[in-house]
A and B are shown apart, each in its own frame.
Chain A
Amino acid sequence: MIARAVRSLWAAALLTVLILPTSVMGAQDLVSDALGHEDAGRNAQAIVAYRQLLNQALAGGENTDQIALALLGLERVYFSLAQRDSVLPVVQLVLRQRPADPIARGIQFRAFAASAQDAEVRMAFDEWRSAAGEDAAPWREYIRTLMAMGRPLAADSALADAQRALGRNAAFAGEAAQISATLERWTDAARAWRRTLPDMPWMEMAAAFSLQGAPVAARDSVRDVLLAPPIGLAPRRLLATVETGWGDARRGWAALSSVRSDDSATVAWQEFGERAEAMNQNSVARDVWRALYDRTGQADVGRRAAIAALASGDAAEALALATTIGPTLPPTDRVAQWLLIEVQALGELGRAAEAARRVQEADVQLSDGLREDVSRELVSAWLRSGDVERARAAAERAGTLDDDQVVGWLALYDGDLTLARRRLVRASQRDAALIDALAVLARTQVESHPGLGLAFLALARRDTADAIGRFALVADSLGDATPALLATAARLATQSTDSTRAVRYWERVVTDFVSSPEVPEALLELARAAARGGEMARATHHYETLIIDHPGSAMVPQARRELERLRGHVPELS
C-alpha cells in the first residue's frame, strides 16, 4: 500500500516535471517544437507536441489557426506512420466542440476515404451538413472526396443534390468541371471551367490539367467553348496553356493575342512568352515578345524579341528591333545590350561591312568579353559575305588565328586541303557543316584544290545554288571523293527543293560508283524523290534495291519503314 503510494507520488512528480515546462510554453514555441520534431522524423515527440498545441488551443477558445495547424500536423505525422485513422479520435475531440470546423471535417473525410469507409464518409457529411446549414463547404468537400475515391458518378449525383439543395449552381462550378472532365464530357468541362475561372483564377492549373486529357476528336469543341465571345482573359489563357500542352504553342498564342490590353493581359503574355522560350518555340516567343514590346515599349522586352527572332532564323526582325530600340538608349547601354545582336543579324543577312562599321563605331565602349564575342561574330559575318581576306583580318584582330576551327575553315576556303584537314579534325565544336567538310576531306588525298574551297565558301555565303554547281563541277577532279561530292551537291539540291538536279547527282552515284558508301543514301533519296513525284513503282524499286542489295546499311530500317508507308501497310504520319 505504502509502496503504491510512493510509486504514485513518483509518477506525479515525474509528470509535473514533464508537463510543467511545456504547459508554460507559448503557442509559438509549441508550434516550432512540433515542426522541429516532425522535420527531424521524431514522430512520437511530434505527436505529443501537436496534441499539446491542440489542447491548449481548444482550452483557449477561438484559436482557429492553431487548431488547424495542430490537426494538419497530426494528419501528416500519422500518415507518415501509415496510421492515418489514428487521427480520427483527435478529430472527434475537435468536432465535439466545433462540429462545422472545415479543417477537421476535411481530415475526417480523407481518413475515411483512405480506408474506403464509404458509409462513414456519408455519415460525416450528413453531420457536417446539419451543423453548417446553408454553407456550401460540406458539399464541396464531399464531392471532392468522392472524386478522390474514384467515384465520379457518385460525385456527379452529389453535385446535382447540392445544386438542388442550395440553389447556387455557380458555387460548384469548379467541382462540376472536374467531374465532367473525369467523365470525359469535354464540352461540359470546358463550359464549367469557363464559368469558374473568373471568380477562382487559382484553379487555372487544375483546369488546364483536366482539359489536357481531351482526345484529338474532342479538342475542337473545347476550343469552341473557350474561344466563344465575349473574349475574356481567363478562358483565353486557359486555352493557350492547353494548346501548348497539346503541342501547338502557335495556336495557343493565337488564342491569347486577341485579348484586350490591360495589366493582367500583359502578365499573361509575359508568362506565355517565357513558356514558349523554355519550349524552344522561338518563332512563337518572338511574336509574343514583339507584341509585348509594342504594347509596353520596354527595351528589355524588345531585346528578348530580337534574341528569339535570331534563334528562329528571322534576322531581319532582330535587326529591325535593334535599329528601333538601340538609338533610344544611352550609348553604353546600346553597345552592351544590342551590339552583339546587331552584328549577328547583319552577318546573317550578309551585310558584313555594316557589321564591321558598327563594331568600329562602338570600339571604345567594348568590354574585353564583348569584344571577343563580337569579333568572332564578325569573322562569321565576313565569311558569310564570301570575303575570306577580311574574315582572316577580323580573326587576326580578334586573336583567333590560333583557333583550329577558324584556321581550318579559312584554309579550306583557300583550297589548302592539307592544312584544313589537319586543323578541322581538331576543332572542338562539331556541327553539321564541319562533319560534312571532314567527310569530304577524309575521302581525298589531294593537297590543294581552290575549286573545292570556293564550293565550301559558296556554302558559307548561303549561296546554295552556286555551291551545288561548284560541288558538282569539282567532283570529277577529286578522284575517290567524287561520289562524296556528288552526294553533297545532291543533298544541297534536295534542301533547296531542286529535285531535278538532286536526282541527276544521285543517279550518277548509283550508276557510276556502285561500290561507294554513298549508294544506299542515293537509293533512299531516289526512292523519296520518286514517291514525291507519284512514281510509286520506281520508288518501290529503289527501296527494294536498297534493302536487298545493301542489307547491312544503317539506312535499311528507314527504307523499310518508308516502303511500308508507301504500300499503306502502316498509318500515315499525323
Chain B
Amino acid sequence: MIRRWLTAAMLLCVLVANRPVGAQTLLVPMDDAQTNHLKAYGLAFQAIKTVRRAEWLLNYRGGAFLVPDAPDMRRRAALDGIRTEPVSDGDVARIRAEIAGGNMDAVVLERAPRVAIYRPKDQPPWDDAVTLALTYAGIDFESIWDDEVLNGELSEYDWVHLHHEDFTGQFNKLYLAYRDAPWFIAQRQRDEATAARFNLSNVPALKKAVADGIRQFVEKGGFLFAMCGATESLDLAIAAFAVDITGPFSDGTPIDTDADARMDWMRTFAFRNARIEASPYVNALSDIDGHQVNVPARRQPLGTFTLFDFSAKLDPVAAMLVQNHRTVIRDFFGVTTSFNKAVLKPGVTVLASEQGAPWVKYIHGDLGQGSWTFLGGHDPEDPQHAIGSAPTDLSMHPNSPAYRLILNNVLFPAAKKKPRKT
C-alpha cells in the first residue's frame, strides 16, 4: 500500500516537473509577429467573458494582451490562427518591469461590455465595418434600431456603435440618384412607418428623437463609437433639434432660411459652428467633412493618417484607442471621411490626423458620464466602398491596422476604470 502511494507521489512529482515551466499565461503579441490581429481581440474578449480576466499591455509589443493559459484559449487561438506565446510567471515579471520603465502600462480588462450595433434589420446595399469587425473577431453583439432606442432599451448596453445612418433624416441625400431603387423605397417606407408608430411627423423628426436618445445614453455613462456619416449627421441632428435643416424631399417643407444661425451647438458631441449644406442636389450635409467624397467638385484626395502617441500611464484611455502595430495608416473614404479642424469643439481629443491637412480622422471626448469616439470613413479595407459593392471579407485582411482601431473601441469599455490623470 505504502509502495503504491510512493509510486503515485513520485509520478505526480515527475508530472509537475515536466509541465512547461510556469506556463500559466499566454502572451498575445500585437506587433508584426501577430498572424491575426483582428481575431486576437476576440480571444481577449473571450478571456474577459469566460474567466473575467485579461490584461492589455499598452504600448508593449503593439498593444499585446495577457490571457490565462487555459486549454480553451489555446484551442481558440489555434483555430483562429492567432499567435500566442506561453510565458512563465518569471517572464511576466520581466515584462512588467519593462512596462514600468517606459511609456507603457498594463490595463486590467475584467468585464465584457454588452455591445449593441445600431443597424436596420434589412441589410442595406453597403457594408458596416463594425459589424464586419465584430463578427470576424467573434465578439458578441446585438442589433438595435429605432424602436429599441425610442423604447429606452439602450440602457441595457455598455457600448453602442453607429455607422452609416443619416440622423438628419435625409437618407444621405441619396434621393436624387436612388429614388427608384427598391432598397431606397423600402428604407423610406420603413422609416416613415416607424415615425408614424411613435407619433412623429416625419423621418427627420424620428431620427432627431433617436439622436437624442443616443445622446442621453452617453450622458448617463454609455460608450458611443460612430463611423462614417453617423458622426456628422448625429451632431447635426442634435444641434438642429428645434431647426428644420432638411430639404422638402424628406419632410415636405423647405429648410429654415436662418438654419445656420439657430443651430444649438452646446448640445453636440464633437462639432460646433458648422454650415449646413442647404442644396438638395449637393450630396453633403455640411462642411464638417473635409473630403466631401460625394461632391465631385469639392472632393479631396485620400492620403494617410497618423496616430498620435499618448502617455499610457497618464492618459490610458486615449492610449488604448490608438494601440496599433502601425502608426501611419492609409485613409479611406466614407459619406463623412474626416472632420475639419475648424469645426471641432474645444476639449475634443484628436487621436489621428493627416499631416498638413485641415482635417482630422479620429477623435474622442467625454459627454456627461460617458464617452464617445468618432472615426471618419466607411470601410478601412475598401477605401472607395460604393453602394452595391460586395462586403469586405476580413479573412483577407487579418492584420488590418485601421480595423484594429474599431476593435480598440470595443475593448476599451472593458477596462477597469482609471481616472484620467491629465
> Which positions in A face B, CB cutoff 8 Å?
150-154, 182-187, 215-219, 221, 544, 547-548, 551, 556-557, 560-561, 563-564, 567-571, 574
Tell me the nearest residue of chain A to B295, going by C-beta: A153
CB contacts (< 8 Å) of A563 on chain B: these are 79
Chain B, interface size category, equals 20 to 34
Beta-carbon contact of B135 and A569 below 8 Å: yes
Partner of A153, one of B180, B296, B388, B395: B296
B268 to chain A, nearest CB (A): 29
A547 to B39, CA, bound (A): 15
A569 to B180, CA, bound (A): 32
Beta-carbon contact of B79 and A548 below 8 Å: yes
Beta-carbon contact of B388 and A564 below 8 Å: no
The yes or no answer to B75 lying at the interface (CB within 8 A) is yes
Provide the B386-397 mask, 1 if CB < 8 A to any CB of A, else 0: 111111111100
Q: A215-B387, A570-B394 are in contact. Are A187 and B180 (CB under 8 A)?
A: yes
CB contacts (< 8 Å) of A544 on chain B: these are 79
The yes or no answer to B86 lying at the interface (CB within 8 A) is no
The yes or no answer to B136 lying at the interface (CB within 8 A) is yes
B45 to chain A, nearest CB (A): 14
Between A and B, 20 residue pairs with Cβ closer than 8 Å are A150-B299, A151-B296, A153-B296, A153-B297, A183-B296, A184-B177, A185-B177, A186-B177, A217-B178, A217-B183, A217-B388, A218-B177, A547-B78, A547-B79, A560-B395, A563-B79, A564-B136, A569-B135, A570-B135, A570-B136
Beta-carbon contact of A560 and B80 below 8 Å: yes
Beta-carbon contact of B79 and A152 below 8 Å: no
A567 to B80, CA, bound (A): 12
Which 7 residue pairs are nearest across A and B when measured between Cβ atoms? A217-B388, A215-B388, A216-B388, A571-B391, A215-B386, A217-B125, A151-B297
Tell me the nearest residue of chain A to B135, going by C-beta: A569
The yes or no answer to B282 lying at the interface (CB within 8 A) is yes
Name B130-152 residues within 8 Å CB distance of A. Answer: 132, 135-136, 138
The yes or no answer to B14 lying at the interface (CB within 8 A) is no
Tell me the nearest residue of chain B to A564, going by C-beta: B395
CB contacts (< 8 Å) of B79 on chain A: these are 544, 547-548, 560, 563
The yes or no answer to B70 lying at the interface (CB within 8 A) is no
Given contacts A153-B282, A217-B387, 20 further A-B contacts (CB under 8 A): A150-B299, A151-B297, A153-B295, A153-B296, A154-B297, A183-B177, A215-B386, A215-B387, A217-B178, A218-B178, A548-B75, A548-B78, A557-B81, A560-B81, A563-B79, A564-B136, A564-B395, A571-B127, A571-B132, A571-B392
A571 to B176, CA, bound (A): 29
Beta-carbon contact of B177 and A571 below 8 Å: no
Beta-carbon contact of B393 and A570 below 8 Å: yes
Name B370-409 residues within 8 Å CB distance of A. Answer: 386-395
CB contacts (< 8 Å) of B80 on chain A: these are 560
The yes or no answer to B15 lying at the interface (CB within 8 A) is no
A183 to B295, CA, bound (A): 8
Tell me the nearest residue of chain B to A153, going by C-beta: B297
A110 to chain B, nearest CB (A): 19
A569 to B78, CA, bound (A): 16
CB contacts (< 8 Å) of B387 on chain A: these are 215, 217-218
The yes or no answer to B181 lying at the interface (CB within 8 A) is yes
A557 to B36, CA, bound (A): 12
